[in-house]
Amino acid sequence: MRFLGQLFFILISIGVFFGCKKENANQTFIEENIEFASAQIGLQLDAIRKTNKVLNPRTINEDGTTRYVNPQCWTSGFFPGTMWYMYELTGEQKWIDYGTELTESLESVQYLKWHHDVGFMIGCSYGNAYRLNKNEKYANVIVQAAKSLSTRFRPGAGVIQSWNTTNGWMSQRGWECPVIIDNMMNLELLFNATRLSGDSTFYDIAVQHANTTLTNQFREDFSSWHVVDYDTITGDVRQKNTAQGYSDDSAWARGQAWGLYGYTVCYRETKDPRYLKVAEEIANFIFSSPSLPDDLVPFWDYNAPNVPSELRDASAAAITASALYELSGFSENRELYLVKAKEIMESLASSVYRAKLGENNFFLLKHSVGSIPHGAEIDVPLNYADYYFLEALKRFRELEQ
């Protein structure tokens, strides 16, 4: 018995040793990436400060210069959000200073009604700002932005219309009421607006949109179409397309990430088990895909024809990692999702995808893809890849703590 007791003590000690070793390795990984992000984005901030302008970086132009965006751009909320995450990760005042300045430069977006992405734009900027400082002025902006987004709700179809169809390539498609899977990311703004205002209208719209999307946007294997077009009167589906993917029947990688993240948020806000199930099924599709590389950074489309010579999309990987950290808190597959998220983060933090200090126009990640079919932002850094990488890093640290 004494021997068995000693053996049990030894086994417990070994377990504690390796547990501590793993924990220390995770802490080192987190701290190293925070240190790098602080230095790299700090250089970007220094470059902006020298111009005496409020500049909002998105990506790199073909001539090598940094592309900055105006408040109307759908990506305008990500760099302000990056400032708030950098403050959370470092505690340094300089991130608050520019985060506040840049966030408040988007004040007019609360009235934007001509596209659906105010959720990205206001949620990532004002949403994070309010979460950290509880400024009531910011709460008012969030609620007004939700009112603007709600004007795009089409009751007959039960969806928020994504794009207008009066000009450009969208009108050429013959769409009447296109809804893209990305729109799932804008529902969090509506949930937050109900919480802040007490008006359940926003919540109800978000739930109707999520339910309609769940019914119509997914195939049997839980890959998704990028675009579903509706008749606004009858609610009938007019056509299904994948505008930014390889083909209408393919699975665009970032679209899968948007769906995973969006339904995880919907489960958090409603506790509807259908939303948890669809998030888990999307994750299963991603990790069972035969085209998913060993490093878990997907090719830009899971059905792209020239794998393994196709381009990767680091932005899809970063969004997926961040979603998995949250999903792990709700699912019986917790350990699997934590392992997969860590593997993705380790890949993104490697020299393959993470830039060297001072390079990549001071963006963190390389090798993202905007839209290959439109010849836009191909194999470049993107501000939303950096944003979700930092969000995932923050969530990883919170789990470790």
Is 49 annotated to bind ligand?
no
Q: Active site residue: 46, 63, 97, 182, which one?
A: 182
User: Is 13 annotated as ligand-binding?
Assistant: no
Asked about 117 being catalytic, the answer comes back as yes
Cα-to-chain-centroid distance, residue 387: 8
Task: Report whether 58 belongs to an annotated binding site.
Answer: no
397 is in an annotated binding site: no
3-state SS, residue 252? strand
Catalytic hit among 63, 97, 117, 231? 117
313 appears as a binding residue in the annotation? no
Q: How far apart are CA 194 and CA 191, in angstroms?
A: 5
> How does DSSP assign 231-250, residue by residue?
-TTT--EEEEE-TTSSSTTS
Asked if residue 114 belongs to a known ligand binding site, the reply is no
Annotated catalytic residue 248? no
Name the nearest CA neighbour of 184 among 297, 298, 84, 268.
268
Tokens of 16: 């504690």
- Give the up-direction half-sphere exposure of residue 76: CA atoms within 13 A in the CB hemisphere: 24
Q: DSSP letter at 263? A: H
Give the residue among 378, 390, 308 at the shortest CA–CA distance from 348. Answer: 390
- Token pair recorded at residue 20: 């501590």
Residue 238 Cα distances to 102, 228, 255, 301, angstroms: 40, 8, 20, 24
Residue 241 tokens, joined? 């397309």
201 half-sphere exposure, CB direction, 13 A CA radius: 12
| Number of helices and strands in the chain (H, E) | 14, 9
- Active-site positions? 117, 182
Binding region for substrate? 117, 182, 242, 254, 258, 371
Binding region? 117, 182, 242, 254, 258, 371
